[in-house]
């Protein structure tokens, strides 16, 4: 096999004092933290569409990035070479997982039957590469949003024929994910949303989306696919309003349509900020409602209002995120998928390594900080203390449903003004800084 990244050997842990930009300073996969190795906690994954397929296109211009593995006039040659380059990169980075859309790994042909044949061919090759390297599939998904047939959505399309096409595509994508031993399968809303209410029957579209997901659940059970299904919220882009707006919205949708047993969420940092939340809010909401599944680890830009999908680099965010994830029990089927691409001017293959190394190190630091925060119980104790009055007397009566409006009114009439306590935000923020 050709070598696509000859300038990189393997990325190794060299410790915080290393000046080598092609080494980890904090990510030491075998390091044991709170009873598990860093690799087991973090479950890093490379995302195929950005890392292998992104060529720098933006709304104002075409490709800026040239890759050796794209150098052929035959699209299946390109697919083959890209897959080889991918596994070389995963191995050199020491990343255990990968994620893909069906259309990332094999290009669409003239009809569905031929497209599926192409997929089968590439999937067999991927299966072999997985077996040779020990790299595993974190999740698979389908791209039912790029082709023009999906301009008005997939499951929410006004045309039942497009709905049927999407269903066929998802069926196949679940099959190949199963074939590759995928630990999960993601449904990101693509173009499931609307651009104008003037042409949209919102209730019908939501009902249809739920029907599509229920069909996927039924089919999953039929073929015995054991992976976890995830919905990935995003509030806008490409449509003006995406139906899977945020974690709260997805939770309500899953409850309404009785899908909660079969889905968890895949939370993406940049999508959280587009929704006017932050990453940690979305994670905490999921933990509170037992729906945290996996994470698309990236970041946006404060000053740009779109999904810039940059590599994570904020130590505060990774520290707090890992704190919430660990307190939620950590990942089981999910992991940290770097749904991120290098910038348009980062045109060299080596930039892909810098992007991942930095992201892995910043999450490793976050993990270490979070573990210390958990061991010290600094914030646990603060929270516990703040709510302690719910464990006794009046609070406990309310929680046990032993008091209603009349009892509470009687209590206040007897005791008068409630005693107040400081929220201590500044102190706690200072304490957090102690861990960074
Ligand atoms: C797009 C999404 C997408 C999903 C997978 O904004 O993040 O990349 O993760 O379809
Ligand atoms: Ni994503
Ligand atoms: Ni995104």
DSSP of 168-230: HHHHHHHHHHHHTT-SEEEEE-TT-EES-GGG--HHHHHHHHHHHHHHHHHHHHHHT--SEEE
For the packed helices 202-223 and 247-256, what is the interaxial angle rounded to 10 degrees?
A: 80
Q: Whose CA is nearest to atom 3 of ligand 1?
A: 188
Q: Whose CA is nearest to atom 8 of ligand 1?
A: 339
Chain Cα centroid distance, residue 93: 19
pLDDT, position 1: 80
Rounded Cα distance between 335 and 375, Å, is 22
Tokens, residue 236: 């806008």
- Residues with CB under 6 Å of ligand 1 are 101, 141, 186, 188, 232, 234, 268, 296, 307, 339
Give the mutation target among 150, 170, 296, 335 for probing the ligand 1 site: most ligand atoms within 8 A of CB.
Answer: 296
Distance separating alpha carbons of residues 12 and 25, to the nearest angstrom: 9
Q: Residues 89-115: pLDDT tens digits?
A: 999 999 999 999 999 999 999 999 999
pLDDT at 19: 98
Residues 239, 203 contacting (CB under 8 angstroms): no
Output the pLDDT for position 361.
Answer: 98
pLDDT at res. 78 = 98
- The DSSP letter of residue 139 is E
Q: What is the pLDDT, as a whole number, of residue 367? A: 98
pLDDT for the residue numbered 305 = 87
Query: How far apart (Å, rounded) are the C-alpha atoms in residues 220 and 293?
Result: 17
d(CA 29, CA 41): 9
Q: Write out residues in the chain with pLDDT < 50, as ranges.
A: none
């Amino acid at each position: 096999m050709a070598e696509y990244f000859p300038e990189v050997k393997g990325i190794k842990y060299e410790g915080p004092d290393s000046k080598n930009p092609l080494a980890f300073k904090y990510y030491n996969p075998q390091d044991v933290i709170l009873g598990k190795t860093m690799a087991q906690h973090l479950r890093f994954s490379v995302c195929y569409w950005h890392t292998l397929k992104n060529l720098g296109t933006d709304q104002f211009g075409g490709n800026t990035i040239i890759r050796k593995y794209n150098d052929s006039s035959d699209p299946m040659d390109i697919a083959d070479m890209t897959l080889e380059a991918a596994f070389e990169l995963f191995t050199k980075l020491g990343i255990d997982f990968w994620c893909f859309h069906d259309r990332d790994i094999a290009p669409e042909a003239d009809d569905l039957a031929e497209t599926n044949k192409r997929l089968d061919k590439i999937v067999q090759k991927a299966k072999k590469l997985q077996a040779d390297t020990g790299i595993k599939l974190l999740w698979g998904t389908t791209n039912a949003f790029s082709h023009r047939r999906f301009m008005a959505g997939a499951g929410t399309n006004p045309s039942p024929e497009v709905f049927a096409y999407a269903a066929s595509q998802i069926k196949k994508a679940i099959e190949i994910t199963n074939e590759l031993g995928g630990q999960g399968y993601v449904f990101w809303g693509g173009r499931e949303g609307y651009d104008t209410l003037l042409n949209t029957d919102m209730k019908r579209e939501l009902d249809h989306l739920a029907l599509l997901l229920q069909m996927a659940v039924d089919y999953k059970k039929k073929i015995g696919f054991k992976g976890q299904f995830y919905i990935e919220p995003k509030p806008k882009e490409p449509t003006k309003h995406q139906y899977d707006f945020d974690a709260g919205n997805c939770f309500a949708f899953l409850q309404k349509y009785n899908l909660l047993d079969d889905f968890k969420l895949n939370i993406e940092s940049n999508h959280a900020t587009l929704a006017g939340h932050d990453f940690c809010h979305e994670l905490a909401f999921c933990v509170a409602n037992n729906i945290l599944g996996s994470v698309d680890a990236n970041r946006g830009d404060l000053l740009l209002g779109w999904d810039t999908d940059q590599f994570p680099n904020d130590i505060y965010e990774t520290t707090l995120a890992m704190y919430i994830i660990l307190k939620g029990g950590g990942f089981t089927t999910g992991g940290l998928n770097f749904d991120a691409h290098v910038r348009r001017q980062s045109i060299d293959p080596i930039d892909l390594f810098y992007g991942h190394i930095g992201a892995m190190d910043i999450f490793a630091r976050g993990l270490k900080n979070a573990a210390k925060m958990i061991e010290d119980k600094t914030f646990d104790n603060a929270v516990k203390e703040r709510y302690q009055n719910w464990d006794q007397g009046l609070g406990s009566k309310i929680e046990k449903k032993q008091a209603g409006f009349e009892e509470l009114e009687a209590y206040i009439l007897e005791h008068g003004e409630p005693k107040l306590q400081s929220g201590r935000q500044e102190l706690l923020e200072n304490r957090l800084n102690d861990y960074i």
